[in-house]
Structure 1
Amino acid sequence: MIDYAGKTILVTGGASGIGKALAEAFAARGARVIIADRQAEAAEAVAASLNGLAIRCDLSDPAAPAALIDAAWAWKDRLDFVCANAGTGVRNPVLKEDFGPATERLFAVNMHAPIRMAQAYAARLAEASARGRLMITSSENALSLPAGVRRSRIGAYAASKHGVLILAEWLREELAGETMDLHVLLPGAVYTPLVAAGVPDPALAPKELGLIMPERCAEIALKGLDLGLFYIPTHSHIAADMRPRTDGVRDALKALGLTS
């Protein structure tokens, strides 16, 4: 089990949803938590409840990730753990996706910002001759087209989460175990503000979603961290949802005569 006592942890998107639940879980295990969020008042309220620090930050700004790492490091002259958790969403059919400002912002927050944070964090760790830990929040939608969301028109969202997953996989390869421990949280349906916008009452959520509360997601995340897992999925159906893709590739190889 990881000892978080006295550790300084930055959680982006920490004012609500998964981020808030993660921050509370880390604080309960003795961590000093920094809440970064666009919602300044909400971030300050969460930080105050945890005796932490709030930083207003809009991660759609390309300069924001590095500035956030610097500000978080300056609080206690160290930064032991970064949770690149902030996310946003859009709903458009792929055929009607114009990749306008809302979608550009989605990719900036969901895909570019976590990697820019990783770059800035790695540089600060190197300067301090320190080792850190980074967890990036991706999604089950990075791995498949889950049955529970097939009418949700979230192709661009899924693409951004798939993009950050493969970048994290490449980052793991390039780090080769040096500088920081790396993890990717792969939540299924969690009752966050993004989900609540379409499902006001969690009790009425379709059963196939397997909707869980943020606190349960955080519990699974911390268990995955304790186990040293790179992939931290939150729902048992995630592996089954991936099978149509793997089976399709296998069947195509067979049809093409490329199997041994």
Structure 2
Amino acid sequence: MIDYTNTTALITGGGSGIGKALAEALAARGAAVVLADVNAAGLEAVAAGIGANALPVVVDLAKPEAAAELIERAFTWRGRLDLVCSNAGIGHNKKIKNEPLGPETERLFAVNLFAAVRIAQAYLRVLEPSGARGRLMITGSENSLSAPAAVKGRGLGLYGASKHGVLIAAEWLRDESGDALDVHVLMPGAVYTPLISRGLPDPTKAPPQIGLIMPEQCAALALKGLDLGLFYIPTHAHIADDIRPRYEGVAAALKALGLR
């Protein structure tokens, strides 16, 4: 189990949902936490609940310069940055065939994908002078791996594309930066965050097939995955079943083409 005593962790999207749960779980295990979010009110409430070991930072990660400024501030606070949870993300429910690819879509990719890459780059830059090893967990999604059976038809194509981008970028980042950084990808299924609660005020009314869990359970699985040194950290068993059609489809195509 990782000892978080006297460590510093940065959690983006820390004002609610999975980010809030991660911050509270890390603080309970002894970490000082930097909480970043665009939602100032939510951020202040979470920080107040944690106390002196929390530093709230209001930031809009859609802005290209924001990631580097945030990493620098988080590192400067206590002179170290042991864990970065690049968790901030936004939802999007528009079918690809109807999507105008305007500012809303650009913000989707800016927050969900490009901010994670910029955070990783900035984190490596602050680690380099000291030679310290860092740990980065990026929040992807079950949509990083497939079109999950339980949510087909809901217009999550571009959201899924942004989260698939997170996964492949993290896989390459692990290949490129393994000497300086431990990289992990959290891949949640349905978690009761504000993205879901706005349309589902009562979580007990959730369709059973989506397997809705609470943020605290997601955070517990995330930290367990870090403790175990896992790169892929899924939260739902059905994720393996959802991947299978892609694997089987590629295998069938290889056979049809005479390549195996």
TM-score higher than 0.5 = yes
Matching residue of 2:180? 179
Which one-letter code corresponds to 1:208 in the other structure? Q
Matching residue of 2:239? 238
The 8 Å contact of residues 6 and 30 in structure 2, kept in 1 or not, is answered as yes
Which one-letter code corresponds to 1:144 in the other structure? S
The 8 Å contact of residues 174 and 181 in structure 2, kept in 1 or not, is answered as no
Deviation per residue, 1:69-124 (Å, 9 max, x gap): 01111111111110000000111111011111111001000000011000000010
- Relative to the length of structure 2, the TM-score reads 0.98
Unmatched segments (≥5 aa) in structure 1: none
CA deviation after TM superposition for structure 1 residue 200, in Å: 2.1
Matching residue of 1:228? 229
The 8 Å contact of residues 47 and 53 in structure 1, kept in 2 or not, is answered as yes
CA deviation after TM superposition for structure 1 residue 255, in Å: 1.1
Which one-letter code corresponds to 1:24 in the other structure? E
Q: RMSD value over aligned CA atoms?
A: 0.8
Equivalent position SS for 1:82: strand
In the TM superposition, 1:10-29 aligns within 5 A as: 10-29=10-29
Equivalent position SS for 1:59: coil
Matching residue of 2:196? 195
CA deviation after TM superposition for structure 1 residue 129, in Å: 2.1
Matching residue of 1:148? 150
Matching residue of 1:35? 35
Matching residue of 2:127? 125
Equivalent position SS for 2:129: helix
Aligned residues: 258
Measure, in 2, the Cα distance between the counterparts of 1:152 and 1:34: 34
CA deviation after TM superposition for structure 1 residue 196, in Å: 1.3
Which one-letter code corresponds to 1:103 in the other structure? T
CA deviation after TM superposition for structure 1 residue 232, in Å: 0.2
Measure, in 2, the Cα distance between the counterparts of 1:227 and 1:31: 18
1:9 aligns with 2:9: yes
Measure, in 2, the Cα distance between the counterparts of 1:180 and 1:45: 31
CA deviation after TM superposition for structure 1 residue 128, in Å: 2.3
Measure, in 2, the Cα distance between the counterparts of 1:168 and 1:13: 18
Which one-letter code corresponds to 1:246 in the other structure? Y
CA deviation after TM superposition for structure 1 residue 195, in Å: 1.2
Equivalent position SS for 2:200: coil
CA deviation after TM superposition for structure 1 residue 151, in Å: 2.1
The 8 Å contact of residues 140 and 164 in structure 2, kept in 1 or not, is answered as yes
Measure, in 2, the Cα distance between the counterparts of 1:72 and 1:41: 20
CA deviation after TM superposition for structure 1 residue 178, in Å: 1.1
Measure, in 2, the Cα distance between the counterparts of 1:200 and 1:145: 25
Task: Between 213-222 and 124-133, report the one with greater CA deviation.
Answer: 124-133
Deviation per residue, 1:21-62 (Å, 9 max, x gap): 000100010000111000112111211211210000100001
Q: Provide the identity percentage.
A: 62
CA deviation after TM superposition for structure 1 residue 184, in Å: 0.4
- Relative to the length of structure 1, the TM-score reads 0.98
CA deviation after TM superposition for structure 1 residue 6, in Å: 1.2
CA deviation after TM superposition for structure 1 residue 64, in Å: 0.4
Measure, in 1, the Cα distance between the counterparts of 2:184 and 2:66: 22
Unmatched segments (≥5 aa) in structure 2: none
1:48 aligns with 2:57: no
Measure, in 2, the Cα distance between the counterparts of 1:48 and 1:74: 21
Measure, in 1, the Cα distance between the counterparts of 2:204 and 2:19: 22
The 8 Å contact of residues 44 and 53 in structure 1, kept in 2 or not, is answered as no
CA deviation after TM superposition for structure 1 residue 141, in Å: 0.3
The 8 Å contact of residues 115 and 167 in structure 1, kept in 2 or not, is answered as yes
CA deviation after TM superposition for structure 1 residue 179, in Å: 1.1
Equivalent position SS for 1:127: coil
Which one-letter code corresponds to 1:135 in the other structure? M
Measure, in 2, the Cα distance between the counterparts of 1:198 and 1:158: 19
Which one-letter code corresponds to 1:187 in the other structure? P
